[in-house]
Amino acid sequence: MSDLSLDKLLKKAENKLQNVHEMVQEKSYELIRQAYKESIFVVITEGFRSIEQQHKLYSQGRTTPGSIVTNAKGGYSYHNYGLAFDIALLDNNGEVDWTIDRRWNKAGEIGKRIGLEWGGDWKSLKDYPHFQYTFGLSLSELRSGKSSEKQTEKASRVLIKY
């Protein structure tokens, strides 16, 4: 059996969350902690994604081999602005388990309870691993240069509630 300690899960997350907004990092750690209390083992699989990486992901299943995994072109994902992260769930042996079951729904509920938007609620191409915190900014605002930094103070007052 692998070591599924909370500390190990949080430590693993740190590497994946570089270039992710500080508040989004805090919310991801909180998701890991809350899920752990429910015996749901969350690992962060991806945080910030460059626009080039996003283009490459978007082409998958369209112009390159593989399944379609995103509807977002480069610049059209909150990952590109450090405001999103993806997760996977581990089974009791520490292996990634992509089976969509009650644990995924519970992780989604926890994420929403701490103020995140969950891709599992999306109408087209449900994205169970995806969570984002947008500070109320649209993708077009972000593409035009609006910064989430201006929203941080307002959002931190919201975070204090949790």
Task: Return the pLDDT at 123.
Answer: 92
Show the tokens assigned to 158: 């919201």
All structural domains of the chain, each given as residue ranges with its CATH number in brackets, are: 6-159 (3.30.1380.10)
Confidence of residue 96 (pLDDT cuts 50, 70, 90): very high
CA distances from 139 to 27, 44, 47, 51, 57 (A): 20, 23, 17, 13, 18
Query: Which residues fall within 8 angstroms of residue 102, CB to CB, at 6 or more apart?
Result: none
pLDDT tens column, 40-88: 999 999 999 999 999 999 999 999 999 998 999 999 999 999 999 999 9
Give this prediction's pTM.
0.89
Yes or no: say if 142 and 135 are a contact pair by the CB < 8 Å rule.
no
- 41: closest CA among 2, 3, 9? 9
Is residue 146 predicted with pLDDT exceeding 60?
Answer: yes
